[in-house]
Structures are given as C-alpha cells and as structure tokens.
Amino acid sequence: MNPNPDLIAMVAPEDREQFVRELTESVVEGFFDERGLDTGCEYSYVTRHRLTDDPQAPALHDPHTHTVLPGTVYDEKHAPAARPFNSI
C-alpha cells in the first residue's frame, strides 16, 4: 500500500505511520469482505519509510507497506482450500 506522498504531506509527521497501517488494514479487510472470506484470514505487512525520487517532487516522505496475503484459505463450501485470487 503506497498512498500518494502529497496526501501523506497533509498528515502530521508523528501520525503518518499509524495512518498507513490503518489504511493497509482497512484495504486488506475490505479485500476479504468483498470476496466473502472470513476476516480471520491471516496476513502480514511491514511498514517502510523512504523519500520520493520524483524530480518534480523530490524528497517527500513516502511511508508505505508491503503486504503478504495467504495463497489459500479454508472454505467448507468449496473445498479444503480455496484460492482467493490475491490481487490488491
């Protein structure tokens, strides 16, 4: 999850990491909900910080996350394991 650095600039520096974490969790949970998958699915993410290298807007704070989703989830209706087609 990589919010636009211009958007991040509107968030207080001390709140940016929490903002990106909450955004990531909201998007991932929405991904599972839209597919009717149990929200108990495990996933993991790591938050990273860097500065932009865009020549038109250089050195903007660019916090973002890398997310790992499960390759399969248990689904009683369809099979012991169903592929949720993870593509966020």
Q: What is the pLDDT of residues 20-49, one digit of tens each?
A: 999 999 999 998 888 887 666 788 999 999
Please report whether residue 88 resides in a domain: no
Please report whether residue 36 resides in a domain: yes
Mapping DSSP onto H, E and C, the string for the chain reads CCCCHHHHCCCCHHHHHHHHHHHHHHHHHHHHHHCCCCCCCCCEEEEECCECCCCCCCCCECCEEEEECCCCEEECCCEEEECCCCCC
> Does this model's pTM top 0.95?
no
Please report whether residue 59 resides in a domain: yes
Please report whether residue 87 resides in a domain: no
Please report whether residue 15 resides in a domain: yes
Please report whether residue 70 resides in a domain: yes
Confidence at residue 41, expressed as pLDDT on a 0 to 100 scale: 77
Please report whether residue 53 resides in a domain: yes
The boundaries of the domain holding residue 9 are: 5-82
Domain count, the chain: 1
**Token pair for residue 5?**
């650095």
73 has pLDDT over 70: no
Q: Is pLDDT larger for residue 80 or for residue 51?
A: 51
